[in-house]
Structure 1
Amino acid sequence: MTITTVILDIEGTVCPITFVKTTLFPYFLDKLPETLSQVTFPITSPTTSIEKILASSSFTSSQSAFAHFKQLVDNDVKDPVLKSLQGEVWQLGYSSGEIKAPVYRDSIEFIRRFPSLFIYSSGSIGAQKLLFGHVLDEDKSVDLNGFINGYFDIPAVGYKFESSSYTKILNEIGKAGEEVLFLSDNIAEVDAAIKAGMNSYVVVREGNAPLSESDIASHTIIHSLDELKI
């Protein structure tokens, strides 16, 4: 069956994996103390978006909240509350022009031309929309969200290493697995998508984790979205 829909991972697939660790994470940790200083702990009647994100927590001070989230960032923990909080903070950087997403040229062109395209990332849906809304394209910021049909994250469908997450996506978009191609730099994510019945390729980019010989032998590998014949 012809592939009619493509689902893209973000970091390491359509933009450098270093963008998160060298730009987004440091920006988040730099701005987080100021963000948390505007919250009165413990939170009893949340009104702001930040307070609503933190409402289920038991933090007693901004210092304890910062220490908690810094530890999660340092250990690259995919925590839904952290992801939502990061999205709020990163919005400041994107809006001010301090942050622009370095999406690969082949990915920009593919997103603009392929008719049925979705994003699935561990980053929050809000953060995904911010990233694609502020893409660096020939020294200017462009918005690619109008070319994307939908977004999925951990709260929406589950963790990316679980095949059930991809089954939920198929049900959500109303497609058979053989019609769908999922692209990711992560072998475990690719395997989970294949287990759910999707086609799935491993994307190799500069800076990504090296693949073993067995991984290369047992998976379809691409180095650019230009290689896709769909």
Structure 2
Amino acid sequence: MMNGNSDAFSPTGCSECDSLQSEFNKGKQKPQLTRTGKILLTIAGTTFGLVFAVTTPFLLPAVRKICLPYVPATLNQVKNVLCLIQDKGGRLIDLGSGDGRIVIEAAKSGLRCDGVELNPWLVLYSRLSSIRHGTHSRTSFYRSDLWTTDLSKYDYVVVFGVDCMMQQLADKLKHELCEEGQVIACRFPLPGIKPVKTIGSGIDAVWLYRKQCFNSRQLGKH
């Protein structure tokens, strides 16, 4: 027969223990986000994703063994490059074309021009800029690695390089440049090769090389 003790109805036989267990279980419940909290969390996640997507292509060159960072050409650099181009009906490629200004300005003079660039945002910007300047019919921009790009079909190869890459680039040009091909190097000259012409000084210096310049150079030597 049941007695009047309420502990008889307790799962543990102890009402105080059951009360403590109930309070403990309440403390383990996960907090529920409010609608405003969910919206703010979504906005923060989306913003982070967009910032990561935009900035990553600009930061990646810093972790490559040989990098070609984005540094816009100055007005004098662009002017000096164009001064070295004689054949206005030829074909030009800009290695690491950045915002496309060299390609666009060269196309205005009548050349058929291509730009290769690893940063997809700069490729998109260059294409839109070419449309805005009315040169899109004579320009093409590709997201591509300059080291895997075939240079044999171009009359002019333009590069705004960095010192540590010029040796390897010179080796590539020696093998791939066509017989009538010319190279316009900006900021840094090609090591061990005598240019046929130099324009400007300092950061605006531009060096012109022809295929014949590479023939007297021993591959891999400075």
Confirm or deny a common fold (TM above 0.5): no
**Alignment TM-score, normalising by the size of structure 2:** 0.37
Question: Could you state the TM-score of these two structures normalised by the residue count of structure 1?
Answer: 0.36
